[in-house]
Amino acid sequence: MLGARRGGLGTWLAAGLCLGASAAFRPTALALLPLSLLWCAGLLYANRARLAAAAGLLLLGTWLPMLPFQIRNRLVDPASGWGLATASGGVNLYLGNNPEADGLNRPASFARGGPGHQYEDFQAEARRVLGRELSAREADRYWAGRARDWFVLRPREAWRLVRRKAGYFWNRREPPDNFFLTLFQNFSRLGPLPLPGWGLVAPLGLAGMLWSLASWRRTFPAHAYVLAYLALNAAFMVLSRYRFPAAAALIPFAAFAFTRLEALLRGRSWLKAAALGLLLAASFQLSRLRLIGEEDMAVTHYSMGVIYANQGWPDRAAEEYRLSIRADPNFEASYLNLGLLQAGRGQAREAAWALEAAARLEGDGAKAERMRNAARQVRAGISD
């Protein structure tokens, strides 16, 4: 903090550029902008002119890395406006705050799973309800309004879900997502290593955060960083990739809790050691509440199948789709992908079987008929 106070104004521009570059890849990083401005105000409140200049440079630095993307979006869709990032904030807000939501990644009943189709379905539903054509930005505002309406009309249920999402944030299990542990174990050099997981880092970090509150003036940036991501997840939904950045501050807090307990025991400060021990026990108990279920292996194997197929490894892809079907015989996407994959490889019998199974599970009659037609064409090839 002293370095930021004594350093030149370029320090704040550099900080903004780092934040903006992060936001260009992951818009959730923008949650740190209000806290950065608050930190700036706390450091430079005695010099208003310098404070105004520093805040302006921080905002400019945050905006510049996103400008090329904004220009591109404006050229592709002039109606999209000049939003800081993507035009999907309202959709994501509704996904985490509506009568059907579970606070994790449950899709709306009218939308297909997966971001490739999900936003199209949300725009189509908004268009159907309002009875007119909508730009992506207008549709997004509509869904943000629907989420706000839910808090107004059913505040008790809405805030109960927010509290539940706060519990998900600290839970040791990985919330469902399109990034999952198997992916990192198979494709990352770090994946197979026995590194500490969230179930260890989060409760230790939480205990360290609470124990260090007495010196919050020194640790404010780290406290604020974790709280920003906690608030972000509670406001939208809890996904592994949404809460993962908080580990950058939780790890030092976890180390603090561990070393502090060791120092208290070595110094025979039994009362303080017992208090910290109880705090650690409570934190671990919170992280182990049965809030999040086991990993959905049907989704995991399906996602691995997609990755292998895209990498040009059809044998591995087919095996993953079969494992997905074995884990959940009603997982339509795996049948469909297996059918299409095997049809392209000349494996007609399995392709026809998978396409027919996908058709039986498909709720859209027109799509189901197309799948059945494809299965018939494949079987006709067998007869020929």
pLDDT of residue 372: 92
The model's pLDDT over 114-136, given as tens digits with 9 standing for 90+, comes to 555 677 888 889 999 999 988 87
Does residue 164 fall inside a structural domain? Answer: no
Average pLDDT of the chain, as a whole number: 87
Query: Domain of 377?
Result: 297-383
pLDDT of residue 153: 94
**Total of domains in the chain:** 4
Percent of the chain with pLDDT over 90: 53
pLDDT of residue 31: 86
* pLDDT score of 208 more than 60: yes
C-alpha–C-alpha distance, residues 288 and 332, integer Å: 32
pLDDT of residue 264: 94
The model's pLDDT over 67-115, given as tens digits with 9 standing for 90+, comes to 888 787 777 766 666 665 666 788 889 999 999 999 987 878 887 655 5
pLDDT of residue 3: 47
Average pLDDT rounded to a whole number, residues 204-226: 92
Query: Which of 267, 287, 307 represents a domain boundary (last residue)?
Result: 287
Average pLDDT rounded to a whole number, residues 332-360: 91
Q: Is the pTM of this model over 0.85?
A: no
Percent of the chain with pLDDT over 70: 91
Query: Which of 111, 133, 153 represents a domain boundary (last residue)?
Result: 153
Does residue 174 fall inside a structural domain? Answer: no
Does residue 251 fall inside a structural domain? Answer: yes
Query: Which of 266, 287, 308 represents a domain boundary (last residue)?
Result: 287
pLDDT of residue 1: 44
